[in-house]
């Protein structure tokens, strides 16, 4: 009974056409919902559908605000800070701190790249207790 | 019960904060953003940086979790164990922060999306 989870929604199975593009995949949303209720709780499909719609509205709501901000400041590109600012402005202050940290980590990860070349152990892949770069092969 | 599995397009090329697992697909988030992103002063499409969908992927997680928790509270009040659409609607009506969702949750019950006949915002709406 799995919903259309066509490869994480990277466009490989746009069978629903434009309709699917308006919403985030229901399976992903359902997973987040399930984590938010106790183990004995259940989620009906109509609740998932409803929240799926709410999330798209949430994205639109925040994005409009961010877009207005960019327009006032004569900038062409909406960035992560604009989203965080908009969330704070529209009442979602509780999300702001966590998202600032999340964005900071994302930006730091971006400059260092996925092959972690720094040796301070932050994102090193260790194999048998040794850094992967010194892995000699089996 | 389904098992969690990696999302294609996320795990290509190692796990880092940049390509690391996001719970929601970034491309889809970006598509939805584009619908509301409007235009720039010179009439071009507003651009969206790569990090904006990343922030949203987390923000939407927080949002879904909060809305679900509040809906669950409504479920419990009804002495049930299954969250239904009506519980989500109750949560929306009871929370000022979610005022922007009122039309979304009402749309289904009235069969259209410009229903204006819901005037009683509820007892605890101003709480």
The whole-number pLDDT of residue B23 equals 78
* Residues of chain A with C-beta less than 8 angstroms from the C-beta of B28: 9, 21, 23-25
Tell me the CA end-to-end span of chain B in Å, nearest whole number. Answer: 38
Average pLDDT over residues B36-51: 87
The answer to whether residues B68 and B92 touch, using CB atoms and an 8 Å cutoff, is no
ipTM for the predicted complex: 0.72
**With bands split at pLDDT 50, 70 and 90, how would you rate the model's confidence at B42?**
confident
Superfamily designation of domain A23-111 = Histone, subunit A (1.10.20.10)
pLDDT < 50: residue spans in chain A: 2-15, 115-117, 121-124, 134-135, 137
Question: Is some CB atom of chain B closer than 8 A to the CB atom of A80?
Answer: yes
On average, the pLDDT of chain B sits at 80
Question: Is some CB atom of chain A closer than 8 A to the CB atom of B122?
Answer: no
Question: Is some CB atom of chain A closer than 8 A to the CB atom of B112?
Answer: no
The answer to whether residues A127 and A135 touch, using CB atoms and an 8 Å cutoff, is yes
User: Has this prediction a pTM greater than 0.80?
Assistant: no
- Closest by Cβ to B88, choosing from A10, A47, A61: A47
* The CATH number fitting domain B26-126, selected from 1.20.1070.10, 3.40.50.970, 2.40.128.110, 1.10.20.10: 1.10.20.10
Distance from C-alpha of A112 to C-alpha of A10, rounded to nearest angstrom: 25
The whole-number pLDDT of residue B84 equals 98
**With bands split at pLDDT 50, 70 and 90, how would you rate the model's confidence at B22?**
confident
């Amino acid at each position: 009974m799995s919903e259309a989870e066509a490869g994480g929604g990277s466009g490989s199975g746009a069978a629903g056409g434009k309709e699917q593009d308006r919403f985030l995949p229901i399976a992903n949303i359902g997973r987040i919902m399930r984590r938010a209720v106790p183990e004995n709780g259940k989620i009906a499909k109509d609740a998932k559908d409803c929240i799926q719609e709410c999330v798209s509205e949430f994205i639109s709501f925040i994005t409009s605000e961010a877009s207005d901000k960019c327009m006032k400041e004569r900038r062409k590109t909406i960035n992560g800070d604009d989203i965080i600012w908009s969330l704070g402005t529209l009442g979602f202050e509780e999300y702001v701190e966590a998202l600032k940290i999340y964005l900071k980590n994302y930006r730091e990860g971006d400059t260092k790249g996925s092959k972690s070349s720094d040796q301070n152990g932050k994102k090193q892949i260790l194999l048998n207790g040794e850094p992967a770069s010194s892995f000699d092969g089996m | 019960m389904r098992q969690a599995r990696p999302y294609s397009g996320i795990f290509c090329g190692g796990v880092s904060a940049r390509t690391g697992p996001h719970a929601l697909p970034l491309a889809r988030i970006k598509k939805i953003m584009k619908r509301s992103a409007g235009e720039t002063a010179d009439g071009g499409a507003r651009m969206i940086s790569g990090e904006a969908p990343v922030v949203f992927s987390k923000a939407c997680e927080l949002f879904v979790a909060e809305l679900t928790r509040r809906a669950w509270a409504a479920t419990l009040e009804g002495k049930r164990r299954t969250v239904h659409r009506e519980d989500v609607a109750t949560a929306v009506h009871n929370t000022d922060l979610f005022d922007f969702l009122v039309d979304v949750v009402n749309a289904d019950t009235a069969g259209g999306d410009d229903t204006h006949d819901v005037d009683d915002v509820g007892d605890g709406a101003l709480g």
